[in-house]
Amino acid sequence: MLTRIDHIGIACFDLDTTVEFYRATYGFEVFHTEVNEEQGVREAMLKINETSDGGASYLQLLEPTREDSAVGKWLAKNGEGVHHIAFGTADVDGDAEAVRGKGIRVLYDEPRRGSMDSRITFLHPKDCHGVLTELVTSAPRPAAEH
């Protein structure tokens, strides 16, 4: 069962400039950064708020590290902007299988590693009214972060 909006992914050409825009304009601070070699992106997660299920909601800013990455190709075609929406779930495997059973194309056979050691999969935008949709199960947080 989907429990929250985990994040909104925004593709950008220059991560540092885009982070500074969100910091200066809205006061959002970077919660986490990483490079995901498999997906070919450098990213920053800007925490917006905590949620009632113990998770959080974020803006995920994505800069491609190579032109042939999915985000790189998307930027070349569409320019900067909203790339995807991600919904949080306690069971990415089960929810992916449930939507697959409803005829929605799930892009990965098995969930992959996402930001902050989460487990993710994507749903085909043509099956989701033009919206690339991600399902996310957050990694367990250390007791100190609860």
Per residue in 14-40, pLDDT (tens digit) is 999 999 999 999 999 999 999 999 999
- Residue 83: CATH number of its domain: 3.10.180.10
Separation of CA 89 from chain center: 13
Q: Does residue 78 contact residue 7 with C-beta atoms inside 8 Å?
A: no
Average pLDDT of the chain, as a whole number: 93
Q: Does residue 30 contact residue 19 with C-beta atoms inside 8 Å?
A: yes
Q: Is 109 a member of any domain? A: yes
Q: Is 35 a member of any domain? A: yes
Q: Is 145 a member of any domain? A: no
Q: How many structural domains compose the chain?
A: 1
Q: Is 69 a member of any domain? A: yes
Taking the C-alpha atoms of residue 22 and residue 85, their distance in angstroms, rounded to an integer, is 18
Q: Does residue 121 contact residue 32 with C-beta atoms inside 8 Å?
A: no
- Residue 43: domain span: 2-137
Helix, strand, or coil (residue 2):
strand
Q: Is 143 a member of any domain? A: no
Per residue in 101-143, pLDDT (tens digit) is 999 999 999 999 999 999 999 999 999 999 999 999 998 876 5
Count of all residues that appear for the chain in the document: 146
Please tell me the predicted confidence (pLDDT) of residue 52: 76
Active site residues: 7, 43, 60, 84, 134
Please tell me the predicted confidence (pLDDT) of residue 140: 83
Q: What is the pTM of this model?
A: 0.90
Q: Is 142 a member of any domain? A: no
